[in-house]
Chain A
Amino acid sequence: MANTYTLIASSTVGSGGAANIEFTSIPATYTDLLIKISARQGADNAFDLTFNDSTTSYSTLRLQGDGSAVASNNAGGVTSAIRSIGIENTNNTANTFGNTEVYIPNYASSNYKSVNVDGVNESNGTEIYMNLLAGLWSNTSAINKIKIAANAGSLVEYSSAYLYGIKNS
């Protein structure tokens, strides 16, 4: 019986919040990685996704809808991270948490890393976004560490991330 999806690690933010969630020592034994994030933070919907403590060579393309219009941008051209959207913030309705799914194929290869990020933060209010995002890390290193960092304030208590490894055999 194939065991395609394997939970590698998970993290839930405790009382007092946290600046980020990190997954370290990710084994190179899987084909792809999948991260499922449920989170809320300070007054911004964006969060930063970085690999191996690198703060260079990232690019981001966003396609987003806010309930009235569709737009595309490059996250201001930031190169220090894949600047994703999909986290509720303190301007959103209380108790709402955004949902984001990150898919990283061939994360252990020597190719540049192409990353899918799909995020939503619906809260029956304003500052609502649905985002489809293309991320690229122009680095040939195998990914062994992933950081999910709040772009404003801290990730609040009960924010969580689950990292799965996917095997193709």
Chain B
Amino acid sequence: MSLKTKSAASATEPQTNGDPCAAITDARNGETTRGCETTKDYEAIHQAFEAIKQKHRDDLGPKDTRHIVAMRRYSRVFEVLGRGLILALPGPLALLGVPFLFLHRNLETLEIGHNVLHGQYDSFAEIPQFHARNFRWKAPVDELGWRQEHNAVHHVHTNVYEKDPDLNHGFLRTNDQQPHTKLHYLQLPLYLLWLYPTMLYNFDSQNLGVMERFRARYFPKGNQGYAVTDEKHAFSETEARRRHRRATWRIFFKEYLCFPLLALVTGTGFVKVFLANLLADLLNSYWTALTIQSTHFTEPLQPEDALKNKGRWYISQLDSSVNFKGNRWQSVLWGHLNYQVEHHLFPDIPSHRYPDMALEVQAVCRQYQLPYKCNSSWGLAIRKVIGVMWRYSFKNTSSHSMEESFLSKQQSAQQVKHVQ
């Protein structure tokens, strides 16, 4: 972890007197040399991040509309190329079209869909097709269910045990607080071979609360340890199933019925197109799953009350997310979710601004000695998350106990100081 070395280096630096964040710095070192009113520090941290957000809000303009419109154009070109090649080329050669089709599905799922549904482009009247309210995903995920689960719960209670539904998509166990069941022994192979390739479909049933019945039935401890759908937003069971059906069937219809039938009619082979589309679909799910999962699970669980103070909330967002490195074009293919930290701090700012914002966020983190984490590559991030999944598939993981959150370390440091 490149950033770990950076923060370690800064921690050894002599502190300037009157640094408003001395208490936090102390907590990071696990020592208590000097205390100061943390609420004031939180306020300063809050204001620093708000200032970055406001700066980019004020700067919103044609640059952003150009970006999203260009993304849609690329996606269309890739779709035509991909579907055309798959349809036209004979036999295994049709595989040549799959990468293009994958690029289309990928752009639509991540860079366009995910970011549009965060409301990043809602303020531009000239592109109503990219307003969260109007947008329909070319992914098997119900937009309303996702916005409730992802925007309103995951982004608010990130990595909070029993509150963040993303901590245990399906039945995943990635921390030692969650009760262990027998199925968890198999979680790594099950996820890598079955659940990741179909991840988008699983996300949808998770968002709509369709999974909760499955867990309650097959897990001895029922829903203990899981973030259940907020009752206020919960759909009735029939409504949830209807939404799930609708979200998945639009993909089934297009990918596995419409285009294969078109191939059948034109005499170029139903099965070939069906399989090629299936491959692109699985790749898309796998890519999305690995992008998302490798940016949260390796990070510490956050205290439940992080939300109570805006400054603390910003710190919990910094602490629960980790970036991984990639250039601007690669970042587009990850929907800029490799800038997970920036995304969690500013979820409604257009994603193509994250690389620029990252520099400003890093400056604030340096100033206030806050954690800013970054993996040197996607490969490393994936290896780490697979390590976590492997470790927590076993019941007894006390030897690898999870790192404590920045906020609770800081709190215990202060308690120590009080005792002294």
Q: Are A and B part of the same complex?
A: no
